[in-house]
Structures are given as structure tokens and as C-alpha cells.
Amino acid sequence: MPNEPGLPRWRSLTRAGVLISAGLVVQAVTLYWSHPTAFLVFIGLGGSLVAAGIVLYLWGLLVGTSDAAKP
Amino acid sequence: MALIYDSLTLVVVVTVVLITLIVVRSQVTAGRSGKALAFVALFVLPMLVTSLGVAAHLEHSKTTEFCLSCHVMEPYGESLWVDEVDYVAANHFQNNRIPRDRACFTCHTTYTMYGDLQAKLQGLKHVWVNYLGTVPETLELYQPYNNRECLNCHRGGRRFEEDELHLEVRAELETNETSCLECHASIHDVAHVGELAKWEQNDAE
């Protein structure tokens, strides 16, 4: 797959996408589970996956931008 | 609540579809609008779902169904159906003096600025004890029940304010020198709740 200049690398974009998607699915499932544990899973698992994905995406943006800025 | 959950689930589905599109067809993100789309799908929408999800979970944690979902709380749920007018929790619940779908929270939150937050933090502690600690045989409040929680609704009410017995101790009730529970002593009585007659609501009424 191509690595577009100025964009996060495709691999980190893919990883970020998978992490965020997985986190969001976990979060959506917990919404239909009426139990105190659901909130812990929402934050602990879902929130962590989403946060990791977002960090990876933002990191990819920074790295991609700095790579593109190199002569 | 169901509408909020369904809306959030819809946003999750849309986000996952967008992310899949961006990952499978990465050239979509070559242009400025594509980059903006990626930012929305990979940052804005996940943050939105997480924030609204936390709010939805916190709101749901106020429901009676939520509180009674733990096994240890079952006798307390049963006590709401005791067929005795002197039982404070049952009386309030059965006569709609508190919202039935928020029965526990209405009386067991503290009506202070950080009451909700405090209740949530205590709830997390309860989950911890439930899974990793030892649940005590008799559950007790952290502090003596504060009259403030009763007066939040009853203060100013005609029947409450004009009652002769209340008038005698009215000032003391405000300062907690006299507890409401000194007279209204039958609350949940979980030790005997299994033996007590229960009210069976006739849905046709």
C-alpha cells in the first residue's frame, strides 16, 4: 500500500483503526449490559483500546509530517 | 436511555465503517478533505462516543435496575415491595414518592455539590469489594443517614411541616441532632424481609 506524503504511515493507520474499532465495539456492547462491571469494561478495555488507537494515529500524523518535511 | 444507546451504537457503526474505508482505501486520505475525514473518524468520533458513553453509563448507574443487578442487593430490592406502611423504603417506592426507576439513588445520593461524584466513587469501591474483597454479612452506611437527604424533598411540604411531632423537633432535624430514623426506623429490614408479606401490584389499576 502506498505511503502518501504528509500522511501517517499506512501501517500505523491500520493499527490505529483496528484498535479504535475494537474499542468502540467493546464500548457499544457494554452499553447494553446493565451491571456495574459494564462500566469497568467500558473504561478499562474499551477506553484503553480507543485511547491507544488515538495516540497511535496522532503519533503517525506527527511522524508522517516530520518525514514529509525532510529534504 | 434506549434511544441514547441506539444513537451511540449507530455512531459506532458509522465510525467503524469510515475507519474501514480509510484503512482499506488509504488513498482516500491523500486530499485535504480525506485528511479531515480521517481526523473525524479516528479522533473526533471515538472521543465523542467515549465521552457520551461515560455520561450514559453514569446516568444508567442511577437506575434501580442497575443497583439491584448485584446479587448482594437483592434483599434490598425485595424490601421495596414489603406490604407495610411503616416501612419507609417500601412506602416511598410503592406510592411513587420517589421515582421507581431511580429508587436507590434518590435516597442514597447525598444532596451536596459533589454528591453524585461521591456516590460513583463509592460504587467503584463496592465493585472492588464485590470481586476482590469480602462482602460483609451486614451492609452498613459509611456514615449515619443524614436528615438532609429526607429534607431535600420533605422540607416545606405541608403535611411534614404541620405535623405536631415534627414541629417539636423541627430545628433538631435540620442539624441532625435528632435523626428522622429515630421514629421512622423500619427502612429495609433485610434480615426479616423474606418473612414479610409483599405488595403485588395490579397492573390493570
Interface of A with B in 1-30 (CB under 8 A): 1-2, 4, 7, 10, 13-14, 16-18, 20-21, 23-25, 27-28, 30
**Mean pLDDT along residues B80-96:** 95
DSSP assignment of B11-61, as one string? HHHHHHHHHHHHHHTGGGGGSHHHHHHHHIIIIIHHHHHHHHHHHHHHHHT
Nearest to A31 among B8, B20, B61 (CB): B8
What are the extents of the domains in chain A? 26-66
**Mean pLDDT along residues A21-50:** 94
Instruction: Give me chain B's average pLDDT, please.
Output: 90
DSSP class of A71: -
CA distance linking residue B23 with residue B135, whole number of Å: 48
pTM > 0.95: yes or no? no
Lowest mean pLDDT across A2-11, B94-103, B146-155: A2-11
**Mean pLDDT along residues A12-29:** 94
CB-based contact (8 Å) between A52 and chain B? Answer: no
Nearest to B19 among A20, A28, A37 (CB): A20
Residues A12, A57 contacting (CB under 8 angstroms): yes
As for the ipTM of the complex, it is 0.82
CB-based contact (8 Å) between A64 and chain B? Answer: no
Q: For residue A4, what pLDDT band results from cuts at 50, 70 and 90?
A: low
Interface test with B, best of A20, A30, A42, A45 (most B CBs within 10 A): A20
Beta-bridged to residue B198, according to DSSP, are: B82
Residue range B7-46, pLDDT digits in tens: 999 999 999 999 999 988 888 888 889 889 999 999 999 9
Q: What angle do CA B132, B136, B138 make, to 5 degrees?
A: 155
pLDDT attached to residue B124: 84
Residue A25 CA to its chain's centroid (Å): 12
Residue range B111-151, pLDDT digits in tens: 777 777 787 788 888 888 888 888 888 888 888 999 999 99
pLDDT attached to residue A65: 59
Supply B77's cell numbers. 430490592
